[in-house]
């Protein structure tokens, strides 16, 4: 089955033709134009050129896969509106996939940060392990990505460690108080209690620090140097996407400059199981992640003076 893949979630207008077989995929043709202000003008010619290069008529398409973003509103709606209208006109199903997932899958093995430019000095980002998404998609400042990864990852691997530290601290505090009361009376016990609480806080603080500064015990977390959290070094092995290239100095990990925009074949691969199963067509709902700049007026303005 021949499948058309479209993506306008980044500055790139991408159209790709991919053949989906029962046991694999084969890339047929792909065209891309990078212009953040010309998705509406560039996407249709890219589609026409891709089909012409492969000698394929639109009526021969079996499905359409579209990148859902996240991405800026204006560009993203071009690709989704085009995919939806073509699917309706041709009577074929449409499937949506996260555009960041296309980059994450194409990046291959290892721990990978995918970051695309969200403008306003922010990035859309997600993290992947061997092509499978672990965190995101989300939008934030580049310097805050590392902290977001730490917060998300700590809860899954460190709850037991912090819990054990809390239990050990409580036991140590109890034993210290009991011994002090027996030996020197209530006044000395109060002094010992203060020392015990300080020791308990130190035990919990050490566990919290090892867990990236995230406290799961309910106590105050150890503060880490904010500058040390801006780099994602040690949290991921490398980064892809034009956002990673733009803010590479902040992320502090190698950036694969050949992989800046979602490849069409990777987008189709994410929907391949649905395509083979002839799943029903999906509503292409965009991932904007931010509220629109335009807001509805709160009141009516007088037109007469």
pLDDT, one tens digit per residue, over 89-116 is 999 999 999 999 999 999 999 999 999 9
What is the arithmetic mean of pLDDT over 179-185? 53
Q: Both tokens of residue 11?
A: 């500055």
* Model confidence band, residue 220 (pLDDT cutoffs 50, 70, 90): very low
Q: What is the pLDDT, as a whole number, of residue 39?
A: 96
Question: What is residue 185's predicted lDDT score, i.e. its pLDDT?
Answer: 58
Query: What percent of the chain lies above the pLDDT cut of 70?
Result: 70
Q: Alpha-carbon Rg of the chain, whole angstroms?
A: 26
Q: Which helix (H) or strand (E) holds 20?
A: strand 12-21
Tell me the average pLDDT across 50-74.
Answer: 96
Beta strands in 69-183 (DSSP E): 94-97, 111-119, 122-129, 132-140
pLDDT at 162: 53
CB atoms within 10 A of CB 39: 27
User: Alpha-carbon dihedral of residues 40, 46, 49, 53, nearest 10 degrees?
Assistant: -160
Task: Please say if the pLDDT value at position 21 is more than 70.
Answer: yes
Q: Are 216 and 159 in contact, with CB atoms under 8 Å apart? A: yes
* CA dist list (Å): 1 to 64, 181, 273: 11, 80, 13
Mean pLDDT of 179-203: 59
| 229 band by pLDDT with thresholds 50, 70 and 90 | low
Number of H helices, E strands in the chain: 8, 9
**Predicted confidence band of residue 290 (pLDDT cuts 50, 70, 90):** confident
Determine if the pTM surpasses 0.85. no
Of 109, 75, 88, 213, nearest to 155 (Cα)? 213
Phi, psi of 198 (to 5 degrees): -65, -40
pLDDT surpassing 80 at residue 227 = no
Q: What's the pLDDT score for residue 158?
A: 45
Q: What is the pLDDT of residue 216?
A: 45
Q: In the chain, pLDDT over 90 holds for what percent of residues?
A: 67
Alpha carbon dihedral 133, 134, 138, 141, in 10-degree steps, equals: -110
Higher-pLDDT residue of 196, 290: 290
Strands 12-21 and 94-97, by their bridges, are unpaired
Sign (positive or negative) of CA dihedral 250, 253, 257, 262:
negative
| Secondary structure (3-state) at 144 | helix
pLDDT at 278 over 90: yes
User: Could you tell me the maximum CA-CA distance found in the chain, to the nearest angstrom?
Assistant: 94
Paired with 7 in beta bridges are 14
The lowest-confidence range among 22-36, 134-148, 197-211, 284-298 is 197-211
Q: List the domains of the chain with CATH numbers.
A: 2-107+261-276 (3.30.420.40), 145-229 (no CATH)
Of 10-14, 90-94, 191-195, 247-251, give the lowest mean pLDDT range: 191-195
| 226 pLDDT higher than 50 | no
Q: Tell me the average pLDDT of the chain.
A: 84
């Amino acid at each position: 089955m021949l499948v058309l893949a479209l993506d306008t979630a980044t500055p790139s207008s991408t159209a790709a033709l991919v053949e989906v077989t029962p046991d694999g995929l084969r890339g047929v043709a792909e065209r891309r134009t990078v212009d953040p202000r010309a998705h509406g003008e560039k996407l249709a010619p890219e589609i026409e050129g891709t089909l012409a290069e492969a000698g394929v008529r639109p009526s021969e398409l079996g499905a359409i896969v579209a990148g859902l973003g996240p991405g800026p509103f204006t560009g993203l709606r071009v690709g989704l509106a085009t995919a939806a209208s073509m699917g309706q006109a041709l009577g074929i199903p449409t499937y949506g996939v996260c555009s960041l997932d296309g980059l994450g899958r194409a990046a291959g093995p290892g721990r990978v940060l995918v970051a695309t430019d969200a403008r306003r000095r922010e990035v859309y980002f997600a993290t992947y392990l061997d092509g499978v998404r672990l965190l995101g998609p989300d939008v934030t400042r580049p310097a805050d990505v590392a902290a977001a990864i730490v917060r998300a990852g700590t809860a899954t691997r460190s709850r037991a460690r912090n819990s054990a530290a809390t239990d050990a601290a409580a036991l140590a505090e109890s034993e210290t108080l009991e011994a002090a009361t027996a030996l020197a009376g209530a006044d000395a016990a109060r002094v010992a209690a203060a020392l015990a609480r300080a020791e308990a806080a130190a035990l919990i603080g050490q566990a919290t620090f090892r867990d990236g500064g995230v406290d799961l015990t309910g106590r105050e977390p150890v503060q880490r140097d904010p500058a040390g959290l801006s780099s994602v070094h040690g949290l991921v092995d490398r980064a892809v996407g034009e956002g990673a290239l733009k803010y590479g100095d902040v992320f502090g990990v190698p950036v694969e400059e050949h992989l800046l925009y979602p490849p069409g074949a990777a987008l189709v691969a994410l929907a391949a199981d649905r395509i083979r199963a002839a799943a029903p067509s999906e509503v292409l709902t965009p991932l904007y992640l931010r509220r629109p700049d335009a807001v509805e007026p709160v009141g009516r303005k007088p037109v007469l003076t």
